[in-house]
Structure 1
């Protein structure tokens, strides 16, 4: 069995979902319920382990009050690299005051 690394695109989209969810101060439990998935599946989406499907991405955009294209955007100064992908997510994580959310 071959284990494949997550796609950089899936990691980027997942990190944008997580970043926006954290900035909106939404719990994984509540958010997962709103988009019709489980917390464990949401975690897989947010780390890019599994791609988030179009219907879930649309639901996430509605709950987070952003356009679906928001999840594909990136800072023009950053290439689509692991550093460029992780930077916004790390900033959002450290901006979160609740230690439990950071876990």
Structure 2
């Protein structure tokens, strides 16, 4: 019985600890179109965020080359154009962590 209680307590502690590690993304991502190409818009939803890098479709999509790193303030936006691909996934590296978005 003691082993069962210890196992339950350890499992509960692990789940509670994992919940505390979830980070909220400092950017909102949206898709659009610009001059006939798919456009990805990264918009800051925190006071300051640094975009340190990104990858579209796990590196399988050519794209424009915006100035990276890019420092955005709340409401600031970065536009990335994708060439010759259908955007399915975007991975973004920021100073707040790494985030992946699926479309």
Give me the TM-score of the superposition, normalised by structure 1.
0.25
Q: Which structure's residues are more often helix, by fraction? A: 1
Higher RCO structure (Cα 8 Å, ≥6 apart): 1
TM (norm. structure 2) is: 0.25
